[in-house]
Structure 1
């Protein structure tokens, strides 16, 4: 089969489309013929260094993906050959205390596809049956693939961590990115008032067209002052951010007393000033979040289907144009997900 493989660390020169052995399905697993995947920031990180993530090279890239079931156990009752499915990328032990209580995303032996083991940028993938879910109706394969990282991450942040309510207001930083855009889509479907930021006016215009209530250009405006103006001096109930150090001060200053800040990343740095006095005097809550567990994945997919949410795809590339896809993601010019067509190899 063909697959996208990292052979070392550096730039696109270490990323190759090459022939690999097709995976052999083990008992309890599902073999999926892959159709599409999307790129995530961790794909750039794995290419660049992969520092701190246990992995062996060469390794197939990719966290999320969607396709059709090719092989299953004879006694499988949920999935069937030919069914359109998407993949939850966290392969877990099922036995540690966190798995036992249903929060497998905290598993002490977690292995993420494309990070700790071979990933989804391949024509076939074999994973445990519990990691395979039916695609919501009405989505393309690349749209379904997009749900596997960004939408489930945003869902856990909004629902499990922030426990956001329909009457509340949320501030979402960096709306062009996948998690932020997913958070905006989900929050609006929940009835939440949403303020989004970006340094790009075009992205802000697109966010408004997709339902954002207010936008702030973070390059030309003081975000916290703009938030206070939009909320009559009150502040927002929830901040959703994955930028880290560059926006931390503005995020903290934008919260109402007792507000919640949920973070899932630190692309601009991971050592912001703690601002402890603000935290305890205003009784703020700082919540860390990463991805989501199987139950959350199930609930998120049902919500997406019920509200007919369509993940935004910026551009879809054939597998052998993966370098162009990585460059598009690295440019930070994308609005929505950068997709990879795993069945299409350009001439």
Structure 2
């Protein structure tokens, strides 16, 4: 089968380590299921792997791709939950299993015609959701759902700030928070992305760093150093910042005085549980919330997709279609 494989890592030229090549199809193993991939989507995690961030080189080569939707061996339409972990080892939460791994970290991922995952990681795909939409959900939307509802405890009427409106997690957080009845503010350096966010239902979309009309209850932070000070200043006393990424850097000034004096909560978040993914699907069905898809590309154009991500040329998600498997 054809697959997009990370064979090397480079901080300055990440795409030099990405190759399209023939790769062995996954073999059957007890407790695992093979999935024919219909659609997958790009995530920053894929780019970090190619840059050598958080991915040991001894785990190469590996097929990239954290998100997938397709058919299981019985022909059922499924979404792949990408966190491979033991809920019992995490106190009932597989994201807290110390030995957890995201798909494509220690197991071949979704940029291929087929993949194999533990059978418990398969979630039935609802008929009202297309394969392209489903492929956008597990990492970005699952992450946003956990940030907003499990960790921040978002309720209708809460004020929310989402930094970096064009990203996959950020666009998901906006859509989910608006669907839940929150008042949402968004920031972006891009005027075009601010305009997009207004179309998703935010109350105001502001240039990065600009003062908000009011302080917020929750900040969704995936940008890091470039927006951290603004996130803390925008937060009400007792409010919550939830962090699930730091694309602009991981070492912002802590501002500990503000945090303790205003009793602000800083929470880290990684991925979502299978149960949270299922709950999110129920929310989407009830509210009509759907992912933002910037464009779709064939697997053969995956280098172009990564370059668009590197250049900041995407709003929402980029979906990848593998070739139809050979008979």
> TM-score normalised to the size of structure 1?
0.89
CA displacement at 1:261 relative to structure 2: 0.7
State which drifts further: 36-45 or 267-276: 267-276
Q: Which residue of 2 aligns with 1:86?
A: 79
1:63-96 CA distances to partner (integer Å, 9 max, x unpaired)? Answer: 01110112xxxxxxxxxx1111111111114542
Distance 1:166 1:53 in 2: 42
Q: How does 1:107-186 map to 2 (within 5 A)?
A: 107-186=97-176
Distance 2:68 2:259 in 1: 39
Secondary structure of the residue aligned to 2:123 is strand
Max radius of gyration: which structure?
A: 1
Aligned pair 1:301/2:281, yes or no?
Answer: yes
Distance 1:216 1:12 in 2: 33
State which drifts further: 134-143 or 204-213: 134-143
Distance 1:21 1:295 in 2: 32
> TM-score normalised to the size of structure 2?
0.95
Distance 1:136 1:303 in 2: 12
1:214-240 CA distances to partner (integer Å, 9 max, x unpaired)? Answer: 11012xxx42x2x1xx22xxx111111
CA contact (8 A) 1:53 1:116 kept: no
Aligned pair 1:236/2:236, yes or no?
Answer: no
Q: Which residue of 1 aligns with 2:185?
A: 195
- Structure 2 unaligned regions, length at least 5: none
Distance 2:155 2:86 in 1: 34
- Structure 1 unaligned regions, length at least 5: 71-80
Q: Which residue of 2 aligns with 1:315?
A: 295
Aligned pair 1:208/2:201, yes or no?
Answer: no
CA displacement at 1:19 relative to structure 2: 1.0
RMSD, aligned CA: 1.5
Secondary structure of the residue aligned to 1:240 is strand
CA displacement at 1:124 relative to structure 2: 0.7
CA displacement at 1:53 relative to structure 2: 4.1
Q: Which residue of 2 aligns with 1:12?
A: 15
Q: Which residue of 1 aligns with 2:71?
A: 68
**Number of residue-to-residue matches in the alignment:** 322
